[in-house]
Structure 1
Amino acid sequence: MSDPIRHECGIAVVRLKKPLAYYQDKYGTALYGLERLFGLMAKQRNRGQDGIGIGCCKLDMPPGAPYMFRVRSTKSAEAIGEVLADEMKEFGRIARRVNAERKERRDESGLEYTKFEDDPEAIKREFELAGEVNMGHLRYGTSGAFGKGSLHPYIRRSTWPTRSLMVMGNFNLTNSGELNKIMMKRGQHPVFDTDTQTVLEEIGFQLDEAHTDLYHTMRDSGVPLEDITRHISEQLDVAHIIRKSAELWDGGYTIAGTIGNGDFFIMRDPLGIRPCHMYEDDEVVAFASERVALMTVFEVDENDVQELAPGHVCVIKSSGAITTTAFAPQAEPLRPCSFERIYFSRSNDSVIYRQRKALGEQMVPQLIEAIGNDWEHTVTSFIPNTAETAYHGFLDGLRYRRRQEVKDAIVEMVHSGTFDENKLDDLVLRNWPRSEKIAHKDIKMRTFIAQESGRDQLVSSVYDITYGVVTPNDNLVVIDDSIVRGTTLKKSLLRILARTNPRRIIVCSTAPQIRYPDCYGIDMSELGKFIAFQAAIALLDEHGLRHVVKETYDACKAEVNKPKSEMRNAVKAIYAPFSDAQISAKVSQLVYPQHTAWQGDIHVIFQSIDGLHKALGPDYGDWYFSGDYPTPGGFYTVNRAFMNFFEGKGGRSYDTLL
C-alpha cells in the first residue's frame, strides 16, 4: 500500500493454565508466559506503530498485595525487543536486591538461600509482569490522541478485585456518541476520549451491576462478609456481562479483558470483521490477531489454531474453567475485512498467501488488454514490497496465459501441417513476460508511519531503481496492493519509476477503487482524500453535472436524520453516472507526476469487485469499494463523511462525540 493509512491494531494473550513453578521446572523460567507474549507481539509488529502496551493479572494474590499491572511504551512495535530488554533490566535489579537481602540473612543465620531467579513465588510477588494472565497490544490509532495515555490496555481500578477491569482491543465502534448519551442518562459522566474508553466504562458499569447484585444477595442470605469476595468471584457470570454490554455496539471488534479476580474474556464482533485466533494445549490458552503468530511461537500446525467464532465470547474463569458462548446472533453472511487479506496481515499464512496470489492473477486479463498482448515490449515488477506476493500470483497468471497461447499455436501448426522448428523457437522465445526488480527499498524504514508533510521526500530517499533494464519502447507494469489517496503515487513513486524512461507506466492495483470510508478499524474516513472520489468529482465537473454534488449533500442530510436502520448510502449518486473505466482513466490523469522531464503515458488499472471475490471468497467485506455497509453505523459514517466534504470540514466522520 503506497498511501499512508492507519489500520487494525494487534492483540496477543497468553493465559497460563498452571502455576509459575511448573514453567520454572520445565522451561527454566517463571516468565514463560511473558516471553511467549512478547513473541506473539513481535510476530505481529506489522500491526502497530503508535506504541505497545502490556497488561498482567496475577491469580490468588493475598489481600493487600497488588494484582493488576500495566506497562505502556510509545516506542514503535519495531522496538518490542527494546521494551522486553527494559523489563528484564528491571527484573535484574529486583533479583540483585532480593539476592543481596537473602545473602545478608544467610550470613547472619548460616542457612543456604534460594536465588530469586529460581524462586517462582518470589518472582510473582516482586516482579510486576509475572502473572498467569498476560495481555499485549500493538496500537494503530484511528480515534483519540496518539500519546502514551491513549495506548491499550485501559484500566478501571477498584478496591474490589471483582470490580477492577483491564481492557484492550482491535476495534472501532461507529456509535460511541450514542453510547455516551446512554451513560449520561444513567447519571454517569463519561470521558469523551475514544471508543476504548466507552467500551471500558460500559463493561465496567455492567460489572458493577452484577457485583452489587451478588453482594446484596449473599449479604442478605447470611454469607459471612469475609467469604463474600470469594463467592462473588466464583459466581460472576462474565458472559452475561459481555452480552449486556454489547447489546447496542455497532462496529468491528475483537476485545479482550481481565477482571481483577483473574477472570478473562475475549470477544469478536458478530460479523467477524476483526480477526481473532486461538490456540490451546495443556499449558496455555493463547489468542492473537494473526494465526501464523500462534503457529510460530508455539511451534504448531495451522490445524491446531482455531478462529474464535463471530458473535462469541470465550471466558476463562480464575479457576481455569473455559467456556465459549454466543453473546449476540452470528450475522449471515459474515463480513470479514478484505483488507486483512489484501494488505494488513502477514502473508506467510497459507490461506492469505494463496488469496494474495489469486488477487494478482485476477489482474491478468485487464493488463493483456491494456498492452495489446505485447509482452516483448513489457517489463513487469511491483511496488511497494507488500505487493510482492500478489505479484507472484500475477506472474503465475501471465505464464499460464502465455503457455496456453503457445500450446494453441503449436496445435494449430500440427493440424495445418505447417510445423516449422524455426517458427517454434520464435514463438516460444519472443513475446514472453519479462520480470524485473525495478524498485529497491534500500533503507529499512516503515514509510507509511511518517507524517504526511515530509513523507514524499522520505519515499524518494527510501526507494531506488534498477537502471538499464527498461527501454524507451517498453511498457513498465507495476503491481500495487491498493491505491487510496494517490498522493504518494503521484508525488513520489511514479516520479521514481519515470526515471527508467519507459514508453508507458501501467499501475495495477490488486484492490478495487476505494470509493467510500471505513469505520470498522481502518483510518479511511475523509472522502475528499480518496483519489477515486476526486476523479468522480472531476468527471462531474467535466460533464456539467456539478448539481449532483449539491443534490447528494441534501440527500445525505436527509439520511443522517433518519433512524439508522432506515439509512441508505446516498453517496453512490456521485459515482453513478460513470463506468469503472471512466473513473480509472481520470485517476490516471490525476496521478500523473508533475515537474518531470518524462513524457510517457500513465495507465492505472483497478481490480474489479467481482475479481476481489473470486480471489478471496464471496463473503469478504467490500463496503469501502461497493458502499454496501454491513451495519447501520456504516451508512451514517458515509453520509456524514460526504457532508463534511461538502462543508469543508476535515477529520473523521465516526460518531464518536455527542
Structure 2
Amino acid sequence: MSDKLTHECGIALIRLKKPLSYYQNKYGTPLWGFTKLFLLMEKQHNRGQDGAGVAAVKLDMPPGEQYMFRDRCVEANPLDRVFKRIWSDYNQKVAEGTIHPEFADTVKKNFDFGAELYMGHLRYGTSGGYSLSSCHPFYRRSPWQTRNLALCGNFNMTNTAELNQSLITMGQHPIFATDTQAILERIGFFLDEEHEDIYRYLRTRGLSGEEMSRRISEDLDLTRVITKAAQQWDGAYSLCGLIGNGDAFVTRDPSGIRPCFWYQDDEVVAFASERAPLMTVFDAAIEQVQEVTPGHVIVIKRRGTITDTQVTTPLPRAACSFERIYFSRGNDQDIYSERKALGGQLADQVLDATNHEWGNTIISFIPNTSEIAYFGLLHSLRERRRDEVKKILLEAQNENRLTENLLDEVILRNWPRGEKIVSKDIKLRTFIGQESTRNQLASHVYDITYGTIRPGIDNLVCVDDSIVRGTTLRKSILRMLARLQPKRIVIASTAPQIRYPDCYGIDMSELGKLIAFEAAISLIKERGQTPLLQEVYQLCRDEVARNGTVNHVAKIYDGFTPEEISARIAELVRPRKLDWKGELSVIFQTIENLHKAVPNHTGDWYFSGNYPTPGGYRIVNQAYVNYYEKSEGRSY
C-alpha cells in the first residue's frame, strides 16, 4: 500500500501453566514466558509503531507486595525501548545480587516482570492521539485484587458517545478520551458489581479477611462480566484483559472483524492477533492454533481452568479482508496463498491494459508488501502464455509450419518479464518542520532501477496492494516511474476501489480523501449532475437522525461503471507538468474476484458499502454530511 494507513493493532497474552521454577529447570530461565511475550510482539511489530506496552500479574503474592505491573512507550521504536528498559532493570539487579537467575523465587520477588501472566500491545493510533495516556494497556486500580483491571485491544467502536452516556446513566463521570477508556470503565463497572455481589453474600458467612479474598477470587465470573459489558458494543474488537487476582480473558466481536488466535499445551496458553507468530514462537503445527470464535470470551481462571463461552448474539461473519490484502504478515500459509491469488486474478485486466504485448511488458511491484501478489500475477500470466504457446505449437504442427524462426520469435522470447523496478530506500525522518521540505523528501523515499525499461517500447505494470487516497502515486511514484520513459504505465491494485469510509479501525474515515470518491464527484460535476450532491446530503442527514441502516452514499457511484471511475482516477493521479507523454492506466480488483481469492474474509464494506453493524451505516452517512458541510475530521 503506497498510501500510508494505520490500522489493526496487535495483541499478545501469555499464561504460564507451571511455576517459574519449572521453566528455569527445563529451559534455563525463569523468564521463559516473558521472552515468549517479546517474541510474539516482535513477530507482530508490523501491527503498530505508534506505541507499545506490556503488563504482568504475579500469582500468590503475599499482602503488602505488588503483584501487577505495567510499562509503556510512545517514543520512536517503542517495542525495543520497552523491552530494553525492562531487561536493563533485570540485568542491573542481577549485577547487584538482588536477583539470582538460577533461583526463580528471587526473580519473582525482585523483578517486576517475573510473573506467570503477561499481556502486550502494539498500537497504531486511529483516535485518541499519540500520547502516553492513549497507549495500551489501560489500567484500573483498586486495593482489591479482583477489581484491578488491565486492558488492551485491537478494536474500534462506532458508538463511543453512547457508551460514555451509558456510563453517565450508571452514575459514573467518564473522561471523554477514547473508546478504550469507555470500554475499560464499562468492563470495570460490571467487574465492581460482580465483586460486590460476591462480597455481600460472603460477609454474612463469618469468613476471615484472607478466606474472603480467596473466595471472591475463586467465585469471580468473568464470563458474566463480559456478557453484561458487551451488550452495547458496536464495532470491531479483539480484547484481552488481566485481573489482579490472576484471572484473564480474551473476547472477539460477533462478526469476527478483528482477528485473534490462540494456542495451548501443558506449559502455556497464548493468544495473538495473527496465527503465524504463535506457530513460530511455540513451534506449533497449524492445526494446533485455533481461531477465537467470534462473539465468544475465553476465560482463564487463576486456578488454570479455561472456558470458552458465547457472550454476544452471533452476526454474519465479516472478517476484515484488508487483513489478507495488506495488514497481516504474509508468512501465514493461507495469507500467502490468498495474496498470490489476488495478484493472479488481475491477469486478464493486465493483458487487456497492455494489449497482450508479452515481449514488451515488464511486471513489478510497489511497495514491498505487494511482492507476493506480484508473484501470483506473474504465475497467472505465464500460465496464460503457456496455453497460447501450446495452441500455436499444435496449430503449427498440424499445418506443417513449425520452423526455428517461429520457435525463437513467437514462442520462446515472448514471455512475461519480472523485474524489481522500485525499492523503498529509507524511512523518512519527520524532524523537518517545513511541510514543503517534508513533501520533497517524501518523494525520495522510493527509488528506481535504471536501465530495466526500453524507453518508448516497454509497458511497465506495477502491482500495488491498494490505492486509497492516491497521494503517493500523484506526488512521487508516478513521477519516479516516468523517468524510465515506458510506453505505458499500468498501476494494478490487488484491492477493489475503496469507495466508503472505514469505522472499524482503518484510518480512512473522511470520504473526501478517498480517490474513488473524488473521481465520482468529478464525473458528477462534469456531467452536470450537481443537484445529486444536495439530494444525497439531505438523505444522509435524515438517515443519521433516525439511526437508519441505508447507505445513501452509494447513489454517488450508481451512475458510473467501475471502468469509468478507474479511468478518472488515472487522470486525477497523473502528476501535472510531467515530462512523459505515455499512457497511464489504473486497474482495480473486482469485488467478485476479491471473494474468490479471499473466500473466508468477507468483510468488504469499504469496497461495497455493506457494513456489518448498524454503526457502520451511521458513520458512512455522517461522513458524507461532513464532506458536504466541509467539516474536517473523523465521522465517529
TM-score category (smaller protein): over 0.9
SS at match of 1:418: coil
Check if 1:149 corresponds to 2:149. Answer: no
Q: Structure 2 counterpart of 1:280, which letter? A: Q
Tell me if structure 2 keeps the 8 A contact 1:489–1:591: yes
State the Cα distance separating 1:250 from its structure 2 match.
0.6
Task: For 2:633 and 2:41, locate their aligned partners in 1 and report how far apart those are by CA, in whole Å.
Answer: 30
Q: Structure 1 counterpart of 2:177, which letter? A: D
Alignment: residue pair count: 633
Tell me if structure 2 keeps the 8 A contact 1:4–1:452: no
Check if 1:229 corresponds to 2:213. Answer: yes
Q: Structure 2 counterpart of 1:69, which letter? A: F
Q: Give 2:156's aligned residue.
A: 172
State the Cα distance separating 1:13 from its structure 2 match.
1.2
Tell me if structure 2 keeps the 8 A contact 1:254–1:274: yes
Q: Give 2:276's aligned residue.
A: 292
Q: Give 2:470's aligned residue.
A: 486
Correspondences of 1:157-556 after superposition (within 5 Å): 157-332=141-316, 334-443=317-426, 456-471=439-454, 472-556=456-540
Task: For 2:17 and 2:434, locate their aligned partners in 1 and report how far apart those are by CA, in whole Å.
Answer: 43
For 1:580-615, what per-residue CA distance to the aligned partner results, in whole angstroms no more than 9, with x for missing partners? 000000000000012331222211001100110010
SS at match of 1:246: helix
Q: Give 1:83's aligned residue.
A: 82
Q: Structure 2 counterpart of 1:531, which letter? A: I
Task: For 2:13 and 2:434, locate their aligned partners in 1 and report how far apart those are by CA, in whole Å.
Answer: 31
SS at match of 2:539: helix
Task: For 1:593 and 1:456, locate their aligned partners in 2 and report how far apart those are by CA, in whole Å.
Answer: 14
Tell me if structure 1 keeps the 8 A contact 2:500–2:609: yes
Task: For 1:457 and 1:160, locate their aligned partners in 2 and report how far apart those are by CA, in whole Å.
Answer: 56
Q: Structure 2 counterpart of 1:411, which letter? A: L
Task: For 1:60 and 1:595, locate their aligned partners in 2 and report how far apart those are by CA, in whole Å.
Answer: 70
Tell me if structure 2 keeps the 8 A contact 1:519–1:525: yes
State the Cα distance separating 1:93 from its structure 2 match.
2.1
2:597 to 615, 627, 646: 615
Q: Give 1:65's aligned residue.
A: 65
Q: Give 1:627's aligned residue.
A: 609
Distance 1:204 1:141, change over 3 A: same
Task: For 2:577 and 2:21, locate their aligned partners in 1 and report how far apart those are by CA, in whole Å.
Answer: 67
Task: For 1:451 and 1:582, locate their aligned partners in 2 and report how far apart those are by CA, in whole Å.
Answer: 38
Task: For 2:97 and 2:228, locate their aligned partners in 1 and report how far apart those are by CA, in whole Å.
Answer: 46
Task: For 2:115 and 2:611, locate their aligned partners in 1 and report how far apart those are by CA, in whole Å.
Answer: 41
1:649 to 613, 631, 635: 631
Distance 1:619 1:50, change over 3 A: closer
State the Cα distance separating 1:122 from its structure 2 match.
1.9
For 1:552-597, what per-residue CA distance to the aligned partner results, in whole angstroms no more than 9, with x for missing partners? 110000001113xx42101001111111000000000000012331
Tell me if structure 2 keeps the 8 A contact 1:144–1:150: yes
State the Cα distance separating 1:87 from its structure 2 match.
1.3
Task: For 1:359 and 1:344, locate their aligned partners in 2 and report how far apart those are by CA, in whole Å.
Answer: 14
Distance 1:136 1:619, change over 3 A: closer
Tell me if structure 2 keeps the 8 A contact 1:459–1:493: no
Query: Which consecutive unaligned segments of at least 5 residues does structure 2 have?
Result: none
Root-mean-square deviation (CA), in Å? Answer: 1.7
Task: For 1:296 and 1:619, locate their aligned partners in 2 and report how far apart those are by CA, in whole Å.
Answer: 23
Q: Structure 2 counterpart of 1:257, which letter? A: G
Q: Give 2:553's aligned residue.
A: 571
Q: Structure 1 counterpart of 2:538, which letter? A: D
State the Cα distance separating 1:223 from its structure 2 match.
3.2
Tell me if structure 2 keeps the 8 A contact 1:9–1:140: yes
State the Cα distance separating 1:221 from its structure 2 match.
3.6
Q: Give 2:38's aligned residue.
A: 38
For 1:210-236, what per-residue CA distance to the aligned partner results, in whole angstroms no more than 9, with x for missing partners? 111110011124334442111110011
Q: Give 1:111's aligned residue.
A: none
Tell me if structure 2 keeps the 8 A contact 1:219–1:225: no
Tell me if structure 2 keeps the 8 A contact 1:268–1:313: yes
Task: For 2:273 and 2:600, locate their aligned partners in 1 and report how far apart those are by CA, in whole Å.
Answer: 22
For 1:101-121, what per-residue CA distance to the aligned partner results, in whole angstroms no more than 9, with x for missing partners? xxxxxxxxxxxxxx6222212
Task: For 1:325 and 1:433, locate their aligned partners in 2 and report how far apart those are by CA, in whole Å.
Answer: 52
Query: Which consecutive unaligned segments of at least 5 residues does structure 1 have?
Result: 100-114
State the Cα distance separating 1:98 from its structure 2 match.
4.1
Tell me if structure 1 keeps the 8 A contact 2:444–2:476: no
SS at match of 1:117: coil
State the Cα distance separating 1:446 from its structure 2 match.
9.5
Q: Once structures 1 and 2 are overlaid, which stretch shifts more, 418-427 or 171-180?
A: 418-427
Task: For 2:436 and 2:346, locate their aligned partners in 1 and report how far apart those are by CA, in whole Å.
Answer: 33
Q: Structure 1 counterpart of 2:339, which letter? A: R
